[in-house]
Structure 1
Amino acid sequence: MKKVWKGFAAAVSAVAIAATGFIGVNAANAATIELGNQTQGGEDFVATGRTFAVYQLMTGTVDATGKITDAKWGQNAKGHTAGTGVTQDEITALQNVQDGKTGASLGKALYDTYVDTTNPYAASLSGKLTDVPAGWYVIVETTDDLPNDTSKSLYMFAPIQADQDLVVTPKTVNGPDFIKKVQENTKDVETPNPTDSRVNTENKWNDIADYNIGDDVPFKLTATLPSNYADYTKYKLVFTDTRGTGFDQPKEIVVKAGASTLTENTHYTTAFDGQKMTVTIDDLKVDAFKNLGIDAGTNITVDYKMRLNDSAVIGGNGNPNTAELEYSSNPNVDSETDKSHTEYTKTFTYKIDGTKKQAGTENKLEGAKFVLQRKSDGKFQATTADSKTEWITIDGVTDSSTSANVAAAVQGTKVKISTSGADGKFGFTGLDYGEYKLWEIEAPANFTLPTTPFAVDVTSATDNMQNLGAINTADGLTSVGATINGTTISGEKTTGVINFSIDNSSTSALPSTGGMGTTMLYVAGGAIVLIAGIGMAVALRRRRA
């Protein structure tokens, strides 16, 4: 029987060592087991917060090749009494468990079939476990709350000699590499350092962007499958995106595995709950995915758009979005999942507040009417019937249009008209970085309408970073301002407001440009002339007398 057992032991040992992550042994005076500081793949392994249980499968005499003789069942052998010999029938049963299984499936089968977890040989492997009897052991990670972005080790199974110091290198890797990006529409963005092939900077994917209220803002979530993806028999992904109140519900959702577009309700499901959107892929290993070439390193992406709405924060801390990924984290147990770190993006928008004044004075002018046109596409800021901001095209407006042309064209449309009040104030909210035409379409009473628009160039400095670590006021917006008809103005970044004034100026004759002050001046002048004339007549009449 020993000869048969030795042959089987050698076969099982060779497969187990290759598949489960133990490395070589060093001579010592007594058998010990300890966790190493590297994984089987050679990455650094941080044992802090990780727990491992040691189960004794058999005891006996183990040689340097892993062969075992005089085998007796260990204290954690399921269905067997510790210390009893292993029979020929039991060896045959072990061979049947081994047949056709390699890697994770072998480790799982041995654990499921032969390990009783009720009373582990060592409930927690921390530091060095000493005075360990020679034999075969199974080591299982039992961490309840994994650190973010990590996964559990495969079941580890290997022999130990009486004079060995067994250093365990867990077979574990990080979970999927997860990122979230927002697509900037005008500015250049930073290249990731180190470079990341998933971030297309030519298409302006970034952690920070500026947009107009009313724009549909593109976002992308990417999960890159881990190097141990093949060790899993089931693999689940759940993308969760949490939007700020400045965004409407996601739309135009496209999910891909590599270059293949997935089908909703066949490959994934989508759900919405308050400010959260979840996209769930229940199992990437099922038949529906088999011909898509999915393996370690495949990018699973979720693209979608969200409208920046009228509740958006202006300047300041911007409009945040966060995302997390839930993923299969234990190749030994299908149902276990853990979560990634949190990814962040911010989207900024700004406001211009103008004051209409009489040229050369501080007199505020009431009743001036303005509309705002976006230069990039010629669209005008407008307000829908349900008071939402949008940008629309107005027929009849061209590059050669005058203020009078624009005034006529916007009549009866949804274009937003901002009218200066008694304090001269008017303004437009929710503006992107970029150029605009500010049209005055109606001048105050007794003032002349300018023929051409005022040139407004909204500027902002943002940290166009690729690694926004948190949502806080220290990250994001550095400054905001504008250049208006060639004059540079600084704005207030905490409010996102750019204050400026527009003077009424004209080359027309004084009567056509004056207001009531000018009219009163003429009335008073006429009265003086009249009185002077009467005085001269009276004086002349007296002289003749």
Structure 2
Amino acid sequence: MKKVWKGAAAAIAALSLGVTGFVGATSAYAETVTTGSITITDDATTARAYNAYQIFEGEYDTETEALSNVEWGKGITAAGQAALITEVRTQVTEFNKTATTENRITLSDTPTAADVAKAIADLRLGANSAGAKALANVFKTAGTLSSTKTALAKDGDQYKAEGIATGYYLIEDSTNLGDNKHEAKTSFLLQVVGDAEATPKREVPTVTKEVEDEKNEGTGTEWGDSADHEIGEEFRFKLNANVPANANLADYATYKLVFNDSMSAGLTWNSIESVTVKPTGASSITIPAKTASAAGYELSDNAVADATGPLAWTLTIANIRDFLSAEQFVGGFDVTVTYKAQLNADAYVNDANGTTTNKNDVDLSFSNNPNVDTEMGKTPKDEVYVFTFKVNALKTKGDGTTALEGAGFTIYKGEKNDSNKMSFVWNATKNAYVVAPAGTQGAVTEVFSKADGNFSFQGLEEGTYIVSETTTPAGYNTAADTTVVIGANHSGNNVEFTQDTTTSITVINTPGSSLPETGGMGTTILYAAGAAIVLIAGIGLAVTLRRRQA
């Protein structure tokens, strides 16, 4: 009776499931059995479909945990047998290069199933070793497995096949996840059966998005799930994909990542600042743009400067392994994309507490089947929001209600000096002046009250502003400067203004004093006053002369 030693089981047991070996039935007394079971514990959200293919069949010894009387199983085709023999022969050749004479492995030109199994045992491959994984990966090739398989039945969080013939089995996760599931499949598992148990250990990537925000009073920047900015001011978004450490990643020949970014109508895409990958415990590595001769990231065609939303664009890294060593790849890493954007004139503006429609979100598509390169999973979306604000301004006559047209104003951000003058363009749709980015055609630094008295301005960020009347309608006194403060606390899609915030102002012009003019009524009054003085003087002179004569 030929036996295959326990080492063969360890060599091809439980690939990529984090199982260090197999769990066989044990007994105080040795026993040879011909039937056994497979149990996989798996609490994945999506119900799994596991199929077991018998690669070798044989009798299982419960004491030595080895098979005897080994033959080819019913789950492997002739092509699969040939492919497995080729892989084993390759590993035997490498092993013999450094082995002592007595430890060299012999594999004939026409080996039997038992010969192949013994060679695998003699290789002493560790569970989850590169050699063991290479054996399992033989069966990624189409046509290596037959149509004869045993489906594992779901029982709660367990999947079971009971009363099956003992042998070596390849267990395939054949779950149809479809696209866009935030899950991954399991690599092929080779398991020895007696009574075998395994628990999958899957890790899937996550993605987060942050937006750059200026701290109050220009003391630096910070990143979070919300920000406030001027229209036309360039700022940055940061996308971060985290791929956790997972030895099973080694089973992926390629690992594709696609950032799917979506911008609302009020946002404009500008440019990519950087794309990096940072392995755990190591420095960041720059990923360049893809060229005809070099790997890198690739943008969708619509990701171009000044592209306005709504805009759905992608950044694809066809194989992140191109930029990482094997150890770095399985040790976990972060991929970070930083790009520049700005708010445009279509941005939603807030003048009261509430929400905004200036939303930006991202999700991540990722390779999720080590056995089929083209299958992809997808993470949930992560969202950020960008706020911008407005001040409702009204110009009136002295009564505080009657609109006054034609008054001109200059708005300063911060201190009142020429370098702080703001530029605006009139937006008829919004019935307001909107902050104009540098170089905007038709931009002005003086805004005028309209027939309805309105000179509202919008597209502002947090800060202090001075509204200064620079053109005063005839007959009115120039109004004093008005200081406007905008303070806002925002988180996610919610903003609340601080108590000192002013989002509505009324600028009142009082009439000037009416002074007399030459040639008008005032002249007549002066003439009359002069005549009266002459008359009084004449009367006084006459009285004086009469007294002297007396």
Instruction: Give the structure-1-normalised TM-score.
Output: 0.70
1:120 counterpart = 2:149? yes
Aligned partner (choices 132, 138, 150) of residue 170 of structure 2: 138
Report the CA distance between 1:371 and its aligned residue. 2.7
Letter in 2 for 1:70: N
Report the CA distance between 1:291 and its aligned residue. 11
Q: Pairwise CA RMSD of aligned residues?
A: 4.1
Alignment of 1:130-169 (within 5 A): 130-145=162-177, 148-161=181-194, 164=195, 166-169=196-199
1:210 counterpart = 2:228? yes
Alignment of 1:150-229 (within 5 A): 150-161=183-194, 164=195, 166-173=196-203, 175-186=204-215, 203-228=221-246, 229=249
| Residue number in structure 1 paired with 2:67 | 68
Aligned partner (choices 37, 50, 53) of residue 52 of structure 1: 50
What is the rounded CA distance, in whole Å, between the counterparts of 1:27 and 1:47 in structure 2? 33
Report the CA distance between 1:132 and its aligned residue. 2.2
Report the CA distance between 1:253 and its aligned residue. 3.1
Alignment of 1:196-275 (within 5 A): 203-228=221-246, 229-258=249-278, 259-265=284-290, 266=294, 267-273=296-302, 275=311
User: What is the percent sequence identity of the aligned residues?
Assistant: 24
Aligned partner (choices 300, 303, 319) of residue 283 of structure 1: 319
1:479 counterpart = 2:479? no
What is the rounded CA distance, in whole Å, between the counterparts of 1:296 and 1:81 in structure 2? 32
1:436 counterpart = 2:465? yes
What is the rounded CA distance, in whole Å, between the counterparts of 1:433 and 1:104 in structure 2? 57
Relative distance call for 1:358 and 1:383 in structure 2 (3 A) is closer
Q: Deviations over 1:278-312 (max 9, x none)?
A: 211111223x6559965532211110011211111
Counterpart contact for 2:393–2:504, Cα < 8 Å: yes
What is the rounded CA distance, in whole Å, between the counterparts of 2:366 and 2:163 in structure 1? 38
1:327 counterpart = 2:366? yes
Report the CA distance between 1:373 and its aligned residue. 2.4
What is the rounded CA distance, in whole Å, between the counterparts of 1:119 and 1:445 in structure 2? 97
Alignment of 1:31-42 (within 5 A): 31-37=36-42
Report the CA distance between 1:389 and its aligned residue. 4.5
Relative distance call for 1:375 and 1:294 in structure 2 (3 A) is farther
Letter in 2 for 1:502: V
Letter in 2 for 1:156: L
Relative distance call for 1:338 and 1:160 in structure 2 (3 A) is same
| Residue number in structure 1 paired with 2:397 | 358
Report the CA distance between 1:220 and its aligned residue. 0.5
Q: Which moved more, 1:352-361 or 1:238-247?
A: 352-361
Relative distance call for 1:81 and 1:444 in structure 2 (3 A) is closer
Letter in 1 for 2:276: K
Report the CA distance between 1:155 and its aligned residue. 1.3
Aligned partner (choices 388, 404, 407) of residue 349 of structure 1: 388
Relative distance call for 1:248 and 1:391 in structure 2 (3 A) is closer
Unaligned stretches of 5+ in structure 1? 38-44, 189-200, 394-411, 466-475, 490-497, 513-518, 531-545
1:382 counterpart = 2:407? no
What is the rounded CA distance, in whole Å, between the counterparts of 1:27 and 1:390 in structure 2? 79
| Residue number in structure 1 paired with 2:344 | 309
SS of alignment partner, residue 102 of structure 1: helix
Counterpart contact for 2:46–2:177, Cα < 8 Å: no
Counterpart contact for 1:19–1:104, Cα < 8 Å: yes
Report the CA distance between 1:91 and its aligned residue. 4.0
What is the rounded CA distance, in whole Å, between the counterparts of 1:346 and 1:222 in structure 2? 17
Q: Deviations over 1:83-115 (max 9, x none)?
A: xxx994334455778968435333212564995
What is the rounded CA distance, in whole Å, between the counterparts of 1:63 and 1:370 in structure 2? 94
Q: Deviations over 1:108-158 (max 9, x none)?
A: 125649952534211765543332222222211112226743221121111
When Rg is computed on C-alpha atoms for both structures, the one with the higher figure is 2
Unaligned stretches of 5+ in structure 2? 28-32, 86-109, 279-283, 303-309, 428-432, 529-550
